Amino acid sequence: MQAMKRSIIADVVAIAAIALLITTTFYWIEARREVIILCDNFTPGVSKKSVERQLDTAGLLLWDTEFVANGSKIEAYSPLHLGIMKCSVEFNKQDTVVFSIVE
């Protein structure tokens, strides 16, 4: 009887681990897609307000604004990627996109 209970518990734990792995993989892929797709939307000439509005719609991304000598810069990243993959968007002093790149 004890061996059967252990077997059932082991099966439940294995199924839960597989489900967790599948879920994490799904969110990892979606976060990667969000970074790439949103970064492709930020072409030269797009306003900073538009970029911020689009980034606010992202569910799996965080973003920070940094002010630099000739404008500002936004970096959007997903915590699921541990900051390895990010979208950098540079703005000029008129708050329009100069360029964006996925790093």
Looking at residue 17, its pLDDT comes to 97
What would the two tokens of residue 102 be? 């996925």
Looking at residue 7, its pLDDT comes to 86
Q: What is the pLDDT of residues 4-26, one digit of tens each?
A: 788 899 999 999 999 999 999 99
Low-confidence ranges of the chain (pLDDT < 70): 1
Alpha carbon distances (Å) from 75 to 2, 30, 40, 68: 54, 18, 14, 13
DSSP letter string, 6-57: HHHHHHHHHHHHHHHHHHHHHHHHHHHHHHHHHHHH--TT-BHHHHHHHHHT
- The gap between the terminal CA atoms of the chain, to the nearest Å, is 55
Looking at residue 1, its pLDDT comes to 62
Looking at residue 84, its pLDDT comes to 85
